[in-house]
Amino acid sequence: MEPKKPKTTISVFKADVGGPGHIMPFPGMIDEVRRYLEANGQGIYKSFHVSSTGDDIAIIVGHQRGPNDKALHELCYKAFIAATNVAKGLNAYAAGQDLFDTAFCGNLAGMGPQIIEMEIDERKGETVVLFCMDKTRAGAFSGAFRRACGTVEFNTGLLHSVKMQQGFVFEVLDNYYNGPGERVIRLNSNSEMPALAALLVVEDRYVIKSITSAATGELCAMVSTFCLDRSSSTHVGKDDPVALFRVQGGFTALGDVLGVFALCFLVGGGMRGSHKVVLMPVEVGTCVSDGDGPAVVSAQVFCINEGVLTDPTDGFKQPTWDKVREKASRINSWLRSIEPDGVTLPLNEIEYHGIQDTLEALQPRFEIVNVPAAT
């Protein structure tokens, strides 16, 4: 009998640590993250890749040390600090924004960056997509992932694989829960689709945390759910989530999960995190510069072999995506032409407090008029 292979962990760490006004990091900052990881991480990772989407830098690491490995977390934390120092040297805007001013205590979780750590038994031909979003929040993945796993219109596997018809188990997190631990619910995308859809339309509150195959119990996808503005008393930026999504075989086909983003979803995000914006699928490394938006999503596809990641393939490079970007751009222009009316998020979802402050200042000027005379 062959000895059991060690599990592989794919860890993703993503942070906005500055740049020219929230559109993209300076190239020297990305180079510095790479340099730092190469110089200091031998023996910790099997492989890594560094990229940017909008103003965020994402590090994806393949290794066999399991989730929450202190050495890896510290390495990536220090790599972000190194990029922050480059940003500070350039007097870049918002240098170090997503790194909370707290001492590193062994884990990057809760310190600002978005994190996902997916521990798997590698399949033959293991293929995984790293999705990175900018100018939006975790719920921006819901419309795409619900369709990509749970609907015949977007997942051809549901028609052609009886096994897949057992559905996927969506673990949905209540983002407004303030108590100890996390408040989650698990729903099957086959037997409970209307309930799942009902939860996920509440985009700010109920967010997908993970998706597993009901047939095999294998982990299909994970979304980063760290919520910056509920973790700090002051505004610190938009969450800009990342997700890992395994594809092919018992999971959704790669083309299916990418293709669903052609719908150009409307998500909470841009304009200082206060508006509904269109979600544009972009090539990795794209800057975000059309009115603090639109929200963007990039897709890098990797194969992985015993923790060693291939170079990524850009999922949104095919010429079709230029047409989709044109569509998103048109929607974006229209939304910008009518803002703030109708596109501003509910007050409790806005990161900045300017509107609340204005409304409070106006309260004393309200008068009660036209009170009917007592009969």
The one-character DSSP state at 349 is G
- To which residue do tokens 């596109």 refer? 343
Q: Does 55 bind Mg ion (CB under 5 A)?
A: yes
At 106, list the tokens: 């062994």
- For residues 245 and 220, the answer to whether their CB atoms sit within 8 Å is yes
Closest CB 62 distance from ligand F6R, rounded Å: 28
Q: Residues interacting with ligand F6R, by CB under 6 A?
A: 16, 22, 55, 94, 135, 237-238, 272-273, 292
Site pattern 56..95 for Mg ion (x: CB under 5 A): x---------------------------------------
Return the one option of ligand F6R, Mg ion, none that residue 272 interacts with (CB less than 5 to 8 A, by type): ligand F6R
Return the one option of ligand F6R, Mg ion, none that residue 56 interacts with (CB less than 5 to 8 A, by type): Mg ion
Return the one option of Mg ion, ligand F6R, none that residue 137 interacts with (CB less than 5 to 8 A, by type): none
- For residues 122 and 49, the answer to whether their CB atoms sit within 8 Å is no
Distance from C-alpha of 77 to C-alpha of 145, rounded to nearest angstrom: 29
**203 or 292, CB closer to ligand F6R?**
292
Return the one option of Mg ion, ligand F6R, none that residue 273 interacts with (CB less than 5 to 8 A, by type): ligand F6R
At 3, list the tokens: 């000895």
- For residues 276 and 204, the answer to whether their CB atoms sit within 8 Å is no
Return the one option of ligand F6R, Mg ion, none that residue 113 interacts with (CB less than 5 to 8 A, by type): none
CA 63 to chain centre: 21
Closest CB 14 distance from ligand F6R, rounded Å: 12
Q: Does 122 bind Mg ion (CB under 5 A)?
A: no
Closest CB 95 distance from ligand F6R, rounded Å: 12
Q: Does 137 bind Mg ion (CB under 5 A)?
A: no
Distance from C-alpha of 269 to C-alpha of 119, rounded to nearest angstrom: 30
Residue 177: Cβ within 10 Å count = 12
Q: Please name every residue paired with 151 in a beta bridge, in sequence order, or none if there are none.
A: none
**134 or 256, CB closer to Mg ion?**
134
Q: Which of 11, 16, 157, 279 binds Mg ion (CB under 5 A)?
A: 16
Best CA proximity match to 244, nearest among 312, 301, 285: 301
Q: Please name every residue paired with 245 in a beta bridge, in sequence order, or none if there are none.
A: 129, 221
**24 or 172, CB closer to ligand F6R?**
24
47-53 and 56-63 as β-strands: parallel, antiparallel, unpaired?
A: antiparallel
Distance from C-alpha of 196 to C-alpha of 170, rounded to nearest angstrom: 8
Which amino acid is present at 305? N
Q: Does 239 bind Mg ion (CB under 5 A)?
A: no
**30 or 129, CB closer to ligand F6R?**
30
Q: Which of 14, 22, 209, 275 binds Mg ion (CB under 5 A)?
A: 22
Residue nearest to ligand F6R (CB): 237
Residues engaged in binding Mg ion (CB under 5 A): 16, 22, 55-56, 134, 237, 240
